[in-house]
């Protein structure tokens, strides 16, 4: 083994007990000391399983069949006790809440050290050092519910750092986080690299950040390693990546397609960041024609279907979640609500379905004051799909799940049958009608959650963060579904942190900050208001940033639009 | 204002700064005393004493209003059960029921005494819990030298109770949004609705437990082997004295009650 190789995987195969399929298939991998290895791949590729195998949790704490070997600093993980392996390695998981197993920040950071049996002084020294590294000094006495998702994830990293591991593995550490949280985590990772020369293995759907920081990226699909190359080389294989279910950075895709379809040799190496792309563009003889902008309001009728008038909402603990909100939602709109965690997005939409009633002001849905209507009455007009589909699935079969609300409404059996069959077919779930919902994949459960709402034929469908924790293929599948419903005349309100999907699908965007709507307008106009977005720590998609830099009056929403915009000057 | 699971409010007073073990002992003390003492005079005087402690600990008495409905329901239940279903002899018989029970002056006094016991438990527990962080309970258990596995289990239960409660409200709202009237229908129908509600909660709990297993492995949880503690739990001489007092008083009260009939209900036993 190379002396600088700290992690080595040799012909690793793994399948979980009771499973027929191998989840990892002949994985071979070496990670050098101080290296930043990114791992990408679609959902179900085996990324989490690989992380568990790298730490020794597989095979020590998970039952299944293993072939091949994993070495951490030359120690075979299957032949050494787990606690010995864990001395050198730390792992941070996706869910910031589950990882917080004690009740205060300082307790969380010292917990692994207490398990190691360290003396008190050593624990204090390491814990405060780790908190300082992740920028959480001063938060020692805070409780989990007092922290944002990003802060909890930083505590999880500190908790592992305090053990002084030589390798840190992070399994989708930013997927549950808002843009502020994502930025915080990558800043911490950068610090760990630059100041502590730590070896990092990071599984991430956000390829744009990985492209910036990783030395090497491994592409995993269906348990197999398809490629392991430097980011520029891997992300330049755009078509191959998209076929695999991984979307390359937008500017890389833009230049790739410019090269391929326009037959232009515009760059020797494809750019990974908007800055690199800007530099490449400035060398080209191209002009940028602003796109023909369709009036987003032309399909909207003048009478709003949902109206907020100076709405304020105060939670029982005194937290003011909405402050003087005025809003009108018109029929047929596709609205995206964006903003940091705690900015009031979910509180706002809960007023639309009547789960919350305003403390001050007035909310009307189809002309009816929500304070005078029951939730079930409003639910017939406005459907609400939860972020986690598991919160809203409680029947024994997929069919019953869709029929549940209709039975509560007292509809005749024949109508229920017709509606359920139609909606299951519409969402591609007909073959699962008799299946228990919990046997479906997460993507299918998400579709079922939409189906249960759709069966009630609401005029407005609200979807709360449908893309969280999903890969791009699944995210696009959900957004395509919402788009088709919008095309059929449904009003769609979606809360999301994915700015790329906001740009590509939404027609109108609301930016929330501290309980207020700070920007409201067409997606094109809002994404061009960089200052307003910056207040909410939001960043427009790469392609939008690139074109705004070229011409502040040109707001581009997608790679396709960018390709149509560029004109070659002879 | 920082609140926890037990409605803890941080204030600067000696009661807040008590050692976690003493807080647990104080909680036990109030509940044991309420169980031992029967004399309505002593019980209600004790309640007044606890209210004075509220003032000293700077806890707003409004805190007790949170339990007003609960207290009213229990008080009514106690009063009705004695009025309708007891045969306590007394000096004045107010009413005789056709089913053989009767209401006397002592019936009312005894019911008043039982309400006093309940109120002492409620007010005493509220006082202690208002100055107790959930983490104090854990530290208290650890300082009692009870196996760490138990302390950690309790700690984990507190930690995940909040996540569970959050899930409960989400699932409940999701059901309401699909036309479920949870508070309507007969007992069986309501039970069926709550069974439905429990399914996603269980599924979520199982999914979380699986991930939690990995997390605990990653954090090197060691329930059996040797481990160290970040916090030092020293009672000090004053603390030891207070602990001994809190242990001795209930024992002494019980001894005086059993041996000399002190703190008992006047005239007890009624047929004596």
Q: How many domains does chain B have?
A: 2
Spatial contact of A433 and A403, defined as CB atoms under 8 Å apart: no
**Neighboring chain A residues of B176 at a CB cutoff of 8 Å:** 355, 375-376, 379
Same structural domain, B131 and B176: no
SS (H, E, C) A309-330: EEEEEECCCCCEEEEEEEEEEE
Q: Count Cβ atoms within 10 A of the Cβ of residue A10 and give its class: 0-12 exposed, 13-18 middle, 19 or more buried.
A: middle
Spatial contact of A432 and A445, defined as CB atoms under 8 Å apart: no
pLDDT at A267: 55
Same structural domain, B126 and B25: yes
Q: Does the pLDDT at position B174 exceed 50?
A: yes
Same structural domain, A298 and A267: no
Let me know how many helices (H) and strands (E) chain A has, helices first: 23, 22
Same structural domain, A479 and A555: no
Q: How many CB atoms lie within 10 A of CB A287?
A: 12
Residues A458/A464/A470/A472 CA torsion (nearest 10 deg): 70
Closest CA to A41 of A288, A201, A206, A246: A246
Spatial contact of A491 and A296, defined as CB atoms under 8 Å apart: no
Mean pLDDT of chain B: 85
Same structural domain, A67 and A33: yes
Its domain, for residue B132, covers 20-138+234-260
Mutation site, B172, B174, B198, B210, interface A, largest A CB count within 10 A? B174
Q: How does strand A382-385 pair with strand A368-369?
A: unpaired
Which candidate from A110, A146, A405 shows the least CB-CB separation from B179? A405
Q: How many CB atoms lie within 10 A of CB A334?
A: 23
Buried b (16+ CB within 10 A) or exposed e, A369-385: ebeebebbebbbbbbbb
Same structural domain, B24 and B98: yes
Question: Is residue A439 in some structural domain?
Answer: no
Closest CA to A174 of A185, A166, A164, A189: A185
Same structural domain, B53 and B109: yes
Question: Is residue B148 in some structural domain?
Answer: no
Question: Is residue B2 in some structural domain?
Answer: no
Same structural domain, B243 and B212: no
CB contact under 8 A, B200 and A392: yes
pLDDT at B30: 95
pLDDT band of residue A452 (cuts 50, 70, 90) is: very high
The residue that leads in pLDDT, B159 or B118, is B118
Same structural domain, B203 and B82: no
Same structural domain, B129 and B174: no
Tell how far CA A63 is from the center of its chain.
Answer: 29
Same structural domain, B64 and B120: yes
B199 touches chain A (CB under 8 A): yes
Question: Is residue B165 in some structural domain?
Answer: yes
Residues A406/A412/A414/A420 CA torsion (nearest 10 deg): 0
Question: Is residue B106 in some structural domain?
Answer: yes
pLDDT at A570: 58
Q: What is the pLDDT of residues A31-42, one digit of tens each?
A: 999 999 999 998
Low-confidence winner among A220-229, A234-243, A380-389, B138-147 (lowest mean pLDDT): B138-147
Q: Does the pLDDT at position A126 exceed 80?
A: yes
Question: Is residue A450 in some structural domain?
Answer: no
Total residues found in chain A within this entry: 570
Same structural domain, A266 and A317: no
Same structural domain, A196 and A68: yes
pLDDT at A473: 81
Structural element, H or E, at residue A40? strand A36-40
Q: Does the pLDDT at position A103 exceed 90?
A: no
Spatial contact of B140 and B150, defined as CB atoms under 8 Å apart: no
Q: How many CB atoms lie within 10 A of CB A196?
A: 13
Spatial contact of A186 and A21, defined as CB atoms under 8 Å apart: no
Same structural domain, B119 and B75: yes
Question: Is residue A399 in some structural domain?
Answer: no
**Neighboring chain B residues of A93 at a CB cutoff of 8 Å:** 211, 214-215, 218
Same structural domain, B68 and B189: no
Q: What is the pLDDT of residues A498-555, one digit of tens each?
A: 899 999 999 999 999 999 999 999 999 999 888 888 888 788 999 999 999 998 888 8
What's this model's pTM, rounded to 2 decimal places? 0.81
B4 touches chain A (CB under 8 A): yes
Angle CA A295–A298–A299, to nearest 5: 130
B75 touches chain A (CB under 8 A): no
Question: Is residue A175 in some structural domain?
Answer: yes
Q: Quickly tell me which residue has 């799909």 as its tokens.
A: A385
Chain B, residues 128-157, CB within 8 A of chain A, namely 133-135, 138, 155-156
CB contact under 8 A, A116 and B229: no
Buried b (16+ CB within 10 A) or exposed e, A65-103: ebebebbbbebebbeeebbebbbbbbbbbbbbbbbbbbb
Q: Does the pLDDT at position B216 exceed 50?
A: yes
Report the range out of A63-72, A239-248, B174-183 with the highest average pLDDT.
A63-72
Q: Does the pLDDT at position B271 exceed 60?
A: no
> Which residue in A has a C-alpha nearest to residue B178's C-alpha?
A405
Same structural domain, A303 and A268: no
B213 touches chain A (CB under 8 A): yes
Q: Does the pLDDT at position B4 exceed 70?
A: no
Angle formed by the axes of helices B40-56 and B105-130, to 10°? 20
Same structural domain, B72 and B133: yes
Q: Which residues contact A173 (CB under 8 A, 6 or more apart)?
A: A92, A93, A94, A153, A156, A157, A185, A202, A204
CB contact under 8 A, A123 and B228: yes
CA distance linking residue A239 with residue A261, whole number of Å: 12
Q: Which residues contact B72 (CB under 8 A, 6 or more apart)?
A: none
Q: How does strand A64-72 pair with strand B102-104?
A: unpaired
Closest Cα of chain A to B133: distance in Å?
10
Q: How many CB atoms lie within 10 A of CB B149?
A: 11
Same structural domain, B209 and B92: no
Q: How does strand A360-365 pair with strand A304-314?
A: antiparallel
Its domain, for residue A225, covers 5-231
**Neighboring chain B residues of A405 at a CB cutoff of 8 Å:** 178-179
CB contact under 8 A, B2 and A83: no
The residue that leads in pLDDT, A530 or A68, is A68
Question: Is residue B129 in some structural domain?
Answer: yes
Q: Quickly tell me which residue has 């990226």 as its tokens.
A: A217
Mean pLDDT across A436-440? 87
**Neighboring chain A residues of B177 at a CB cutoff of 8 Å:** 353, 355, 375-376, 379, 383-384, 392
Phi and psi of A208, rounded to 5°?
Answer: -65, -35
Q: Which pair of tokens denotes residue A176?
A: 């549950």
The residue that leads in pLDDT, A128 or B68, is A128
CA distance linking residue B10 with residue A263, whole number of Å: 69
Mean pLDDT across B47-64? 86
Closest CA to A452 of B241, B232, B177: B177
Question: Is residue B116 in some structural domain?
Answer: yes
pLDDT band of residue B92 (cuts 50, 70, 90) is: confident
pLDDT at B6: 57
Phi and psi of A445, rounded to 5°?
Answer: -65, -35
Let me know how many helices (H) and strands (E) chain B has, helices first: 8, 2
Question: Is residue B7 in some structural domain?
Answer: no
Same structural domain, A335 and A374: yes
Which candidate from B208, B229, B230 shows the least CB-CB separation from A98? B208
Buried b (16+ CB within 10 A) or exposed e, A510-540: bbbbbbbbbbbbbbbebbbbeebbebbbbbb
Same structural domain, A352 and A336: yes
CA distance linking residue A123 with residue A107, whole number of Å: 11
pLDDT at B229: 87
CA distance linking residue A28 with residue A69, whole number of Å: 9
**Neighboring chain A residues of B170 at a CB cutoff of 8 Å:** 386, 388, 391
Q: Does the pLDDT at position A73 exceed 90?
A: yes
CA distance linking residue B76 with residue B34, whole number of Å: 19
Q: How many domains does chain A have?
A: 3
Mutation site, A54, A108, A114, A457, interface B, largest B CB count within 10 A? A114
B25 touches chain A (CB under 8 A): no
Mutation site, A82, A89, A115, A442, interface B, largest B CB count within 10 A? A115
pLDDT at A264: 64
């Amino acid at each position: 083994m190379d002396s600088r190789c700290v992690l080595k995987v040799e012909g690793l195969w793994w399948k979980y007990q009771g499973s027929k399929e191998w989840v990892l298939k002949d994985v071979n991998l070496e990670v050098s000391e101080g290296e930043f290895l990114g791992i990408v791949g679609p959902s179900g590729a085996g990324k989490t399983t690989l992380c568990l195998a790298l730490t020794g949790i597989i095979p020590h704490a998970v039952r299944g069949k293993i072939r091949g070997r994993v070495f951490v600093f030359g120690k075979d993980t299957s032949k050494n006790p787990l606690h010995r392996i864990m001395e050198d390695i730390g792992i941070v998981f996706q869910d910031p809440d589950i990882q917080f197993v004690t009740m205060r920040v300082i307790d969380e950071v010292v917990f692994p050290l207490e398990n190691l049996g360290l003396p008190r002084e050593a624990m204090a020294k390491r814990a405060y050092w780790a908190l300082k590294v992740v920028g959480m000094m001063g938060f020692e006495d805070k409780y989990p519910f007092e922290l944002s998702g990003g802060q909890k994830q930083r505590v999880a990293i500190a908790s592992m750092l305090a053990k002084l591991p030589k390798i840190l593995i992070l399994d989708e550490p930013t997927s549950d986080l808002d843009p502020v949280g994502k930025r915080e985590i990558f800043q911490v990772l950068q610090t760990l690299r630059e100041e502590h020369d730590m070896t990092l293995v990071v599984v991430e759907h956000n390829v744009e950040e990985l492209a910036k920081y990783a030395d090497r990226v491994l592409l995993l699909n269906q348990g197999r390693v398809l490629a392991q190359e430097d980011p520029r080389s891997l992300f330049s294989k755009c078509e191959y990546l998209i076929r695999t279910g991984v979307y390359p950075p937008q500017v890389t895709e833009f230049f790739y397609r410019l090269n391929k379809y326009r037959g232009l040799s515009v760059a020797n190496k494809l750019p990974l960041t908007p800055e690199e792309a800007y530099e490449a563009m400035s060398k080209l003889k191209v002009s940028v024609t602003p796109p023909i902008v369709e009036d987003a309001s032309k399909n909207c009728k003048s009478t709003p279907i949902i109206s907020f008038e100076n709405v304020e909402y105060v939670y029982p603990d005194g937290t003011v979640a909405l402050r003087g909100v005025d809003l009108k939602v018109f029929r047929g709109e596709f609205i995206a609500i964006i903003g940091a965690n705690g900015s009031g997005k979910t509180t706002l939409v809960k007023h639309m379905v009547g789960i919350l009633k305003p403390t001050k002001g007035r909310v009307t849905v189809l002309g009816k004051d929500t304070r005078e209507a029951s939730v079930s009455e409003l639910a017939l007009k406005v459907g609400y799909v939860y972020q986690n589909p598991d919160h809203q699935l409680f029947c024994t079969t997929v069919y019953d799940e869709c029929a549940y609300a209709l039975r509560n409404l007292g509809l005749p059996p024949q109508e229920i049958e017709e509606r359920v069959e139609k909606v299951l077919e519409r969402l591609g779930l007909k073959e699962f009608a008799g299946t228990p919902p919990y046997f479906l994949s997460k993507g299918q459960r998400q579709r079922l959650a939409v189906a249960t709402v759709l069966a009630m034929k609401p005029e407005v469908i609200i979807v709360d963060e449908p893309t969280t924790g999903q890969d791009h293929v699944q995210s696009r599948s959900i957004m395509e579904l919402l788009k088709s419903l919008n095309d059929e005349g449904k009003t769609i309100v979606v809360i999301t942190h994915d700015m790329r999907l906001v740009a590509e699908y939404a027609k109108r965007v609301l930016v929330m900050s501290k309980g207020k709507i700070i920007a409201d307008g067409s997606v094109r106009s809002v994404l061009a208001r960089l200052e307003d977005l910056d207040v909410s720590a939001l960043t427009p998609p790469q392609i939008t940033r690139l074109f705004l830099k070229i011409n502040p009056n040109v707001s581009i929403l997608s790679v396709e639009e960018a390709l149509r915009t560029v004109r070659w000057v002879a | 204002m920082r609140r926890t699971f037990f409605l803890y409010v941080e204030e600067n007073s000696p009661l807040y700064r008590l050692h976690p073990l003493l807080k647990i002992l104080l909680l036990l003390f109030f509940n044991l005393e309420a169980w031992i003492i029967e004399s309505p005079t002593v019980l209600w005087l004790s309640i007044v004493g606890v209210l004075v402690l509220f003032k000293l600990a700077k806890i707003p008495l409004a805190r007790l209003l949170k339990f007003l409905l609960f207290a009213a329901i229990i008080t009514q239940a106690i009063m009705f059960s004695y009025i309708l279903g007891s045969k306590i002899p007394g000096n004045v018989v107010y009413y005789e029921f056709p089913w053989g029970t009767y209401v006397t002056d002592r019936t009312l006094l005894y019911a008043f005494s039982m309400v006093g016991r309940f109120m002492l438990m409620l007010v005493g527990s509220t006082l202690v819990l208002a100055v107790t962080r959930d983490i104090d309970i854990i530290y208290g258990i650890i300082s009692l030298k009870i196996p760490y596995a138990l302390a950690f289990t309790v700690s984990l239960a507190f930690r995940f109770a909040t996540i569970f409660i959050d899930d409960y409200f989400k699932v409940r709202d999701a059901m309401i949004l699909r036309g479920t009237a949870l508070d309507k229908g007969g007992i069986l129908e309501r039970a069926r609705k709550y069974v439905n509600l429990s399914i996603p909660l269980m599924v979520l709990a199982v999914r979380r437990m699986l991930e939690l297993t990995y997390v605990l492995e990653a954090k090197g949880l060691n329930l059996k082997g040797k481990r160290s503690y970040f916090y030092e739990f020293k009672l000090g001489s004053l603390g030891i004295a207070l602990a001994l007092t809190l242990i001795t008083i209930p024992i002494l009260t019980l001894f005086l009650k059993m041996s000399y009939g002190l703190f008992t209900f006047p005239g007890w036993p009624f047929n004596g």
